[in-house]
Amino acid sequence: MKGGVAPSGRPYQVIIAENSKFQAKQLAQILESEGYEVVGFAETGKELLNMYKENRKVDLITLDLHLPVIDGFAAFHEMKEMGVLPRVIVITDENTPAVIKSLTDDGIMDYLVKPIKREKVLEKANATVRKTIKI
C-alpha cells in the first residue's frame, strides 16, 4: 500500500501552503504519486488559515515560511491557537538552526530545506502522517 493512504484505505488529505506555483505543483505531483489527496493550495497565509478553518480534519499541511499577507510563522501560530494543531511539515529555504529549533519546539512535526527532493518529501510526509497529533 502506498504511504499516502491510511490503513482504512482513505487517502491522507493535504493542504499545500506555498507562494511559488511551480513549487506547489511539484509538491502536489510528488505527494499524489504516493496516494495523497491534495485538497487545497494556499498562496498566502491568509488563504491557508481560511482553508484550515473549513477543513479541520486535514491530515497534513506543507508550509512555506515566506508566504505573503500572513507569513508562515504567523499562520502556524494562529492554527495552533485554534486548538488541535494539525500535522505540519515546514518546507522552506530558511535553514537557521535557531528557527528550526523554535518551530520544532512549538509543534512543527518536521522540516525540509529547499530545494526539495522527491525521496525526502515522501520520507518526511509518510513519517509525519503516522505521528500522533499534538494537543
pLDDT digits (tens, 9 = 90+) for 68-113: 999 999 999 999 898 877 899 999 998 899 998 999 999 899 999 9
Backbone angles phi, psi at 89, to 5 degrees: -115, 120
> What pLDDT does 41 receive?
97
- Can you give the residue ranges of every domain in the chain? 13-130
CA dihedral 98, 104, 108, 109 (to 10 degrees): 130
For residues 40 and 62, what is the distance between their CA atoms, to the nearest angstrom?
11
| 3.40.50.300, 1.10.150.20, 3.40.50.2300, 3.30.310.220: CATH of 13-130 | 3.40.50.2300
Q: Count the alpha carbons within 13 Å of 113 in the hemisphere toward its beta carbon.
A: 7
Q: What percent of the chain has pLDDT over 70?
A: 97
For residues 127 and 70, what is the distance between their CA atoms, to the nearest angstrom?
28
Residue 73's nearest CA partner among 83, 81, 63, 82 is 63
Backbone angles phi, psi at 132, to 5 degrees: -75, 135
> What pLDDT does 86 receive?
82
Q: CA distances (Å), 113 to each of 5, 12, 82, in order?
A: 25, 23, 27
Q: CA distances (Å), 54 to each of 1, 41, 82, 115, in order?
A: 29, 13, 12, 30
pLDDT range class, residue 49, cuts 50, 70, 90: very high
